[in-house]
Chain A
Amino acid sequence: MNDMRVVERDVDINELKMKARDVDVFYGDIHAIKNVDVDIEDKTVTAFIGPSGCGKSTFLRCLNRMNDTIDICRVTGTITLDNEDIYDPKVDPVQLRAKVGMVFQKPNPFPKSIYDNVAYGPRIHGLSSNKADLDQIVERSLRRAALWNEAKDRLNEPGTGLSGGQQQRLCIARAVATNPEVLLMDEPCSALDPIATAQVEELIDELRSQYSVVIVTHSMQQAARVSQKTAFFHLGELVEFGETGHIFTNPDDPRTESYITGRIG
């Protein structure tokens, strides 16, 4: 199984996890996403890059229907998860979000204890049958988010009492704890120091063995390091989407090249 995966990755025949076609997003009259097609493969890290305000977060939020919570936001086009249309009227977004987890751009821990923060998802989804089980999930999640060593002695202290970077890792642990199939991460490392960043990148790489991960980042190096696929957004359009190696070494579009080399942004 393990070596299979390596082979799969190398020849790039991973299954399609999510598929977006002709997606447009409007905030009232603002056309924030213009006719975007993206394929998100299983067991793959997909990076979204692009200048600030180009719609990366907006598109990310379409993938777990968090845009539904914004009144003025309107999404058209089709997005599928395992070939099921997630915008189908039959779909309950709550059920979708349990499968497509999210880490937000700004750390937003609940004002509860660190333990309760991580345990919340497993609790509401009934992922654990007893306390010992839950303890184990919490520990594993915190370990994966590289927070265990700092948090293990203060599990009952409020999550809001952590530093910004620790809070962000707590949010990652919280998202991982629910066992999502797809994990959306909006600039998860923007508040982290290089060591924690490396740990989170390691986590992302590890998560790739089971899930597909979509990460928004402003760091070209990070995108190059962790992702297999990269999508470059510019002014709401998807300019280029393809193999990370290809995008970073030999982009097809001149706009991609100027962004990567730091000329627009």
Chain B
Amino acid sequence: MTDAAANAPILPRTTSLYELDARTVRRNRSEKRFRLYGLAAVMLGILALILLLVSILSNGASSFRQTYLTIPVTLSAERLDPSGNRDPAEMARVTTFGYLPVIAQSLIDFVAAEGIETDLNPQQFAGMISGEAPAQVRQRVLNNPDLVGQTVQLQVLVGGRIDGFFKGRVSMSSAARDSNVSPEQLLLAQALADNGAMVTRFNWRFVTAPDASDNRPEAAGLGVAIIGSVYMMLVVLFLALPIGVAASIYLEEFAPKNRLTDVIEVNISNLAAVPSIVFGILGLAIFINFAGLPQSAPIVGGLVLTLMTLPTIIIATRASLRAVPPSIRAAALGLGASKMQSVFHHVLPLAAPGILTGTIIGLAQALGETAPLLLIGMVAFVREYPAAPLEGFFDPASALPVQVYNWTQRSDPAFVERASGAIIVLLVFLIFMNAMAVMLRRRFERRW
């Protein structure tokens, strides 16, 4: 400060408080402008979110509903048990293809009995039933050979196009152009629906059933993918949380602050920025090619995702450890607590909400991760449910995001609905996890 400024006389105020001077006006205007920008940004974000949700929900909500045909099926003995001794081993020789005509014939008989007019040929009748239905009926008959020869009321899946007709995806005009379905079949389907034999209703099969082949979208479900994802999350949780927390506590509380720890710190931050596909390549090279773990197994996926999640957890944990005021540590040490006691009795409980939130965010990230899983073979078509843990971790499985990717690659438009439905399931899981993060945070948060 110059002497002149220091010695300048303090002049009395000459302006009125009721009049805004130019600077104030300008300042207020810029503040208002900034608020508008902020509001616009928030609105844009909300709009994008709404569009996303609307598009996914409108596409995918119908995947939770499925069309079923309920008719009496005559399980004719001469077709299904040619040898006539009800021996499941011999009956198993009748393949799925042997069952389709049986169901189709029952449908023809049912339509005739109900007096519905149609000029479809038997093959077209059969075409209305899902390719999955005979397999299900066969499984049922093999489990209970006594059913053969009886007429039982069975509920069977109808074909994807017929299902699409009731969900508005297939129309008369599109059917006319489609080689897989004819308008006459749709008319019959409508008649059966009016009759009450064909209903579209909510069904858990979409969530529980395994994936199905390209031409049976109506049977495809997320069962294996959900189990695979849950298994992977368990692997990630049980590996990444203890390893990440232990590493952070060591780095933050015990490690000497020197070059080496600086290098480690920088590298952990860098690791968080590594593209996830690189972790997939690493997993392929180390866990599958070197360690010889099976392909497309949740354990490998879990290990890869653990590598990916670790930096997130470490960064979050270290941040929350650092946020605990040093005076708390000093208080504990001053009372004669050891370093470890001060960390575990005082610092860690205070950091717990942050650690949990970080962990759940890391898990949520891992849950939605696709790229690394593609590399370790989790795209494989898996119809078998993996076994219960722990051996189930080594069975082939799919994963939710990979299933979405997989279904979007298929040609049948019915898979668009399935993919959107899978996204809904994925979102539900994510929302659930985030809600849990918020809840845990509330529960454990303490002020100081």
- Chains A and B are bound partners: yes
In the assembled complex, the CB of A102 is this many whole angstroms from the nearest CB of chain B, namely 4
Which of A97, A124, A158 lies in contact with B334, CB distance below 8 A? A97
- Stretch from A32-40, A106-114, A205-213 that touches the partner: A106-114
Once A108-B328, A124-B341 are accepted as A-B contacts, the answer to whether A175 and B335 lie under 8 Å apart by CB is yes
Docked-complex contact B331 and A110, CB < 8 angstroms: yes
Q: Of residues 73 to 115 in A, which have CB atoms within 8 Å of B's CB atoms?
A: 94-99, 101-102, 104, 106, 108-111
Which of B330, B338, B446 lies in contact with A94, CB distance below 8 A? B338
Q: Does B290 contact A (CB under 8 A)?
A: no
Docked-complex contact B447 and A124, CB < 8 angstroms: no
- Alpha-carbon separation in the docked complex, A184 to B337 (Å): 16
Chain B residues near A111 (CB-CB < 8 A): 328, 350, 446-448
- Alpha-carbon separation in the docked complex, A110 to B328 (Å): 6
Q: Does A263 contact B (CB under 8 A)?
A: no
Chain B residues near A120 (CB-CB < 8 A): 332, 335, 337, 345
Which of B325, B329, B335, B339 lies in contact with A101, CB distance below 8 A? B335
Docked-complex contact A108 and B335, CB < 8 angstroms: no
Docked-complex contact B337 and A94, CB < 8 angstroms: yes
Chain B residues near A223 (CB-CB < 8 A): none
Q: Does A69 contact B (CB under 8 A)?
A: yes
Residue of B nearest to A174 (CB): B335
Which of A95, A96, A97, A160 lies in contact with B335, CB distance below 8 A? A97
Q: Classify the secondary structure of B's interface with A.
A: helix
Residue of A nearest to B335 (CB): A121
Q: Does B257 contact A (CB under 8 A)?
A: yes
Chain A: residues with Cβ within 8 Å of the partner, total of 28
Q: Does B327 contact A (CB under 8 A)?
A: yes
In the assembled complex, the CB of A214 is this many whole angstroms from the nearest CB of chain B, namely 14
- Alpha-carbon separation in the docked complex, A175 to B331 (Å): 9
- Alpha-carbon separation in the docked complex, A175 to B334 (Å): 8
Docked-complex contact B336 and A69, CB < 8 angstroms: no
In the assembled complex, the CB of A45 is this many whole angstroms from the nearest CB of chain B, namely 19
Interface digits, A101-137 against B, CB 8 Å rule (1 contact, 0 not)? 1101010111100000000110011000000000000
- Alpha-carbon separation in the docked complex, A111 to B351 (Å): 12
Docked-complex contact B338 and A160, CB < 8 angstroms: no
Q: Does A6 contact B (CB under 8 A)?
A: no
Q: Does B346 contact A (CB under 8 A)?
A: yes
Chain A residues near B446 (CB-CB < 8 A): 111, 158
- Alpha-carbon separation in the docked complex, A199 to B350 (Å): 33
Q: Does A71 contact B (CB under 8 A)?
A: yes
- Alpha-carbon separation in the docked complex, A120 to B344 (Å): 13
Which of B256, B330, B350 lies in contact with A69, CB distance below 8 A? B330
Q: Does B333 contact A (CB under 8 A)?
A: yes
Q: Of residues 272 to 313 in B, which have CB atoms within 8 Å of A's CB atoms?
A: none
In the assembled complex, the CB of B66 is this many whole angstroms from the nearest CB of chain A, namely 53
Q: Does A178 contact B (CB under 8 A)?
A: yes
In the assembled complex, the CB of A204 is this many whole angstroms from the nearest CB of chain B, namely 18
- Alpha-carbon separation in the docked complex, A108 to B325 (Å): 9
Docked-complex contact B336 and A97, CB < 8 angstroms: yes
- Alpha-carbon separation in the docked complex, A121 to B333 (Å): 10
Which of B331, B345, B350, B447 lies in contact with A104, CB distance below 8 A? B331
- Alpha-carbon separation in the docked complex, A204 to B248 (Å): 41
- Alpha-carbon separation in the docked complex, A106 to B331 (Å): 10
Docked-complex contact B331 and A98, CB < 8 angstroms: no
Docked-complex contact A125 and B327, CB < 8 angstroms: no
Once A110-B328, A111-B446, A120-B345 are accepted as A-B contacts, the answer to whether A64 and B335 lie under 8 Å apart by CB is no
Chain A residues near B448 (CB-CB < 8 A): 111, 160
Residue of B nearest to A171 (CB): B331
In the assembled complex, the CB of A47 is this many whole angstroms from the nearest CB of chain B, namely 20
In the assembled complex, the CB of B131 is this many whole angstroms from the nearest CB of chain A, namely 63
In the assembled complex, the CB of B252 is this many whole angstroms from the nearest CB of chain A, namely 13
Docked-complex contact A69 and B257, CB < 8 angstroms: no
Docked-complex contact B331 and A124, CB < 8 angstroms: no
Q: Of residues 174 to 230 in A, which have CB atoms within 8 Å of B's CB atoms?
A: 174-175, 178
Which of B327, B336, B350 lies in contact with A108, CB distance below 8 A? B327
Q: 9 closest Cβ contacts across the A-B interface?
A: A98-B336, A108-B327, A102-B334, A111-B448, A97-B336, A108-B331, A121-B335, A111-B446, A94-B338
Q: What residues make up the interface of A, taking CB atoms closer than 8 Å to B?
A: 64, 66, 69, 71, 94-99, 101-102, 104, 106, 108-111, 120-121, 124-125, 158, 160, 171, 174-175, 178
**What are 10 A-B pairs with beta-carbon distances under 8 A?**
A95-B336, A97-B336, A98-B336, A104-B330, A108-B330, A111-B446, A121-B336, A125-B336, A160-B447, A160-B448
